[in-house]
Amino acid sequence: MICPLCHGKDLETIEAVNVKILEKLYKKNFAVDISAFIAGKELHYILCRGCDLRFFYPQVTGDEAFYNALQKLDWYYMKEKEEFRYAADFISSTDKVLEVGCGKGVFAECIRSPHYTGLDLSAKAKELAHERGVNIEVEPIHVHAERHRESYDVVCAFQVIEHVRDVRSFLQSMVDCLKKGGLLICAVPSEDSFLRYVSNGILNMPPHHVSRWSDKSLHSVAAIFSLQVVEVHHERVTRVHEAWYLSVLVANAIKTIFNIERRLLDDSIKHRVVTRISGMLGRVLSKGLSDELRPNGHTVVAVMRKSNESTTRQ
């Protein structure tokens, strides 16, 4: 076993994942059957001490049918995202932009530049984008990189790299597409937020997410690919997530006080009681959460610049 980002071997097993609970929760919450992905597998949650990436091993990822099932949920793809507005400020009207894992290409409507190309593996996404005049190609990033080396001023991916099994090769292809001096922009769920303490957050687990990203691991990306970190930006807890954040805060306080073990997955009676209490208190407390009290929220955005002599660390 090696780290999928830095290829290091200084690894620590944080927790063994109960795949039976994982399968049950996907069925209960989203009516999605993941048994084909996890059958017969022992799943572990691993920390790389070298680059601080947290990842699941083996790296079990969903297929097109899995994602098509999730996309039926109204909230799965949000049109309005703070990360879009933040990233758009780094893009000029003349920049040539590539978005990897673009979905329907909503980000194209947030930027001033008309020179936008989106990549996605869904033919349906391309169809929907073309109806709105957005240019999308259906091909993987490594294939695109072979024909478009150093072609773009900005290459971005929003909530994508945490889904990718071979994330180092994926990022390498993104960097290869960048012109010298160009910007790599990646938005991911933040492991330096309340998400780190969520139990039964199954969409932050396989086969949906296979890695988790801290600020330190994002800085490791810059070191590996000889990029300069321009900025690492944390959104604040959004209105839609504030009750969730506060319920997590309360739940972890209760578990600490009563010495209840916190696990990634938990279907125990104790956890159910704690969840019910913390959910009620979270909804009440959210009414008094002012903007200045909002901590780091769901998403972190890293902006990195490719140097004029950018190389990959071996």
Q: For the chain, what are the domain ranges?
A: 67-202+210-237+297-306, 240-293
Instruction: Give the integer Cα–Cα distance in Å for 96 and 151.
Output: 8
Q: Name 115's Cβ contacts closer than 8 Å, sequence gap at least 6.
A: 94, 95, 96, 97
The pLDDT assigned to 314 comes to: 45
Task: Count the residues in the chain.
Answer: 314
Helix residue ranges, H only, 191-268: 215-224, 242-257
The pLDDT assigned to 313 comes to: 47
H/E stretch holding 21 reads: helix 19-30
Q: Are 204 and 17 in contact (CB under 8 A)?
A: no
CA 233 vs. chain centroid, Å, equals: 14
Instruction: Give the integer Cα–Cα distance in Å for 197 and 295.
Output: 14
The pLDDT assigned to 79 comes to: 66
Instruction: Give the integer Cα–Cα distance in Å for 136 and 125.
Output: 8
Burial string for 185-214 (b: 16+ CB within 10 Å, else e) reads bbbbbbbbbbbbebbbbbebbbbbbbbbbb
Using DSSP's 3-state secondary structure scheme, residue 262 falls into coil
The CATH-assigned architecture of domain 67-202+210-237+297-306 is 3-Layer(aba) Sandwich (3.40)
The residue written with tokens 């610049």 in the block is: 305
Instruction: Give the integer Cα–Cα distance in Å for 43 and 90.
Output: 39
The pLDDT assigned to 24 comes to: 96
Verdict on whether the full-model pTM lies above 0.85: yes
For residue 160 the two structure tokens come to 């994508």
Q: Please, what is the angle between helix 215-224 and helix 167-177, to 10°? A: 60
For residue 161 the two structure tokens come to 């790299």
User: What CA dihedral angle connects 16, 20, 21 and 27, to 10 degrees?
Assistant: 140
The pLDDT assigned to 67 comes to: 87
- Positions of the chain with pLDDT under 50: 311, 313-314
Please count the other Cβ atoms lying within 10 Å of the Cβ belonging to residue 311.
Answer: 9
